[in-house]
Amino acid sequence: MTQEDLARRVGVRRQTILAIEKGHYVPSTLLAFQIARELGMRVDDLFELIDEEEVCE
Amino acid sequence: MKSEMDLLRMDERQRLAWLMANRGTVVAVGAIWTTMIVWELAHGRAPLFLIVMVPVFALLRVGLYFFYSRTPQGLGGEGTPGRFGLIVKITAAVLLALAIFLPLYSVDDSESGHAWQLAIDDPVAAIPLGFAFLWPLAVLLLSRTLSGRTAGVVLHVLEPLIAAASSIVILLIPQMIFEFQMLVFIPVPLPVRAAIGCYMAVVANGLYVVGWLSEFLRPRVKPRVPSISRGGK
């Protein structure tokens, strides 16, 4: 599945999928669940919570 | 209410970027507004309108924040706060009615003219003045009684035209009262200068049209929200 396909299925622009992949944009809970559903995965497998200290390091 | 973001079919990331851009624009406008106030004060002039509108904008900002924070409206445009248009229209009606008690025009920068004074001095002028300043209250009351009827629909369609007529009457007051020959849509001629009440009345009419537009653009069909809980626990 391409970024374009995924974007179309969840109703966002391809650039938004790209921004999520690069970590430039944190999706809403709704969009996260929609992406997970389309990819047949769990949200936990796609996203993880990172402490700010870890990001700073 | 259908926003410009809905019309542009923005997704949630674009909406966030759009809102950030709005915030940046507001900050820039605020900086320019403050500079204009300082500039006028530095030149010995009292920019009453610029100063008075600062707390008005602040109150509007706080009011809108509490309104939206209590309305189920997500970044994806879920929810249809149909009351928004009505609240804006009521606010405009109150502002327009309050403008009756504010100075409308000053002659030679000395003598101020208030709408209520002008109406008492000249009973003939009281009719157009009453229409110009109180029409939203009358329309809001009438629209409640005429709700759903043909007359109510016609009244609703005519509202922006009435707002325009009200603004023209307010701008023509100097001609009516002081017998100045003034062309429509040309600023009030010297030595009559528009004052805070005149500006506020015209802005209130514009605000009413904004409320009318938001009602007009409101989606009539409830948006379909994707169900992510289907089949869940």
Residue pair B178/B107 in contact by the 8 Å Cβ criterion: yes
Chain B residue at shortest CA distance from A35 = B228
Min mean pLDDT across A21-25, B57-61, B82-86, B207-211 is at B82-86
Contact A13 B14 (CB under 8 A): yes
Kindly report the pTM of this predicted structure. Answer: 0.50
Look at residue A12 in the predicted model and tell me its pLDDT.
92
- Residues B47-68 have a mean pLDDT of 84
Which residue among A13, A33, A37 places its CB closest to the CB of B11?
A: A13
Mean pLDDT of B116-120: 81
Supply the pLDDT for residue B116. 82
ipTM score: 0.75
What one-character DSSP code corresponds to residue A41? -
Mean pLDDT over each residue of chain B, to the nearest integer: 78
Exposed, middle or buried by CB within 10 Å (0-12, 13-18, 19+), for B104? buried
Dihedral of the alpha carbons of B168, B88, B225, A37, in degrees to the nearest 10? 100
pLDDT digits 0-9 by tens, B148-158: 667 777 788 88
Least confident of B38-42, B77-81, B118-122, B126-130: B77-81
Q: Where are the alpha helices (DSSP H) in chain B?
A: 4-7, 12-42, 48-69, 83-98, 115-121, 123-145, 150-178, 196-216
Side chain identity at B27, as an amino acid letter? Answer: V
With contact defined as beta carbons under 8 Å apart, do B112 and B103 qualify? yes
| 3-state DSSP assignment of residue B192 | strand
- Percent of chain B at pLDDT exceeding 90: 19
CA distance to partner chain B, nearest, from residue A16 (Å): 6
- Comparing B107-111, B173-177, B229-233, the range with the smallest average pLDDT is B229-233
**Would you say residue B168 has pLDDT above 70?**
yes
CA nearest to A16 within chain B: B13
Range with the poorest average pLDDT among A6-20, B22-36, B44-58, B189-203 = B189-203
**A8, A20, A31, A38, best to mutate vs chain B, most B CBs in 10 Å:** A31
Q: What pLDDT was estimated at residue B124?
A: 77
Residues B213 and B215: their CA atoms lie apart, in Å, by 5
Per-residue pLDDT of chain A (57 residues; tens, 9 = 90+): 899 999 999 999 999 999 999 888 889 999 999 999 999 999 999 998 877 666 555
The 10 Å Cβ neighbour count of residue B81 is 17
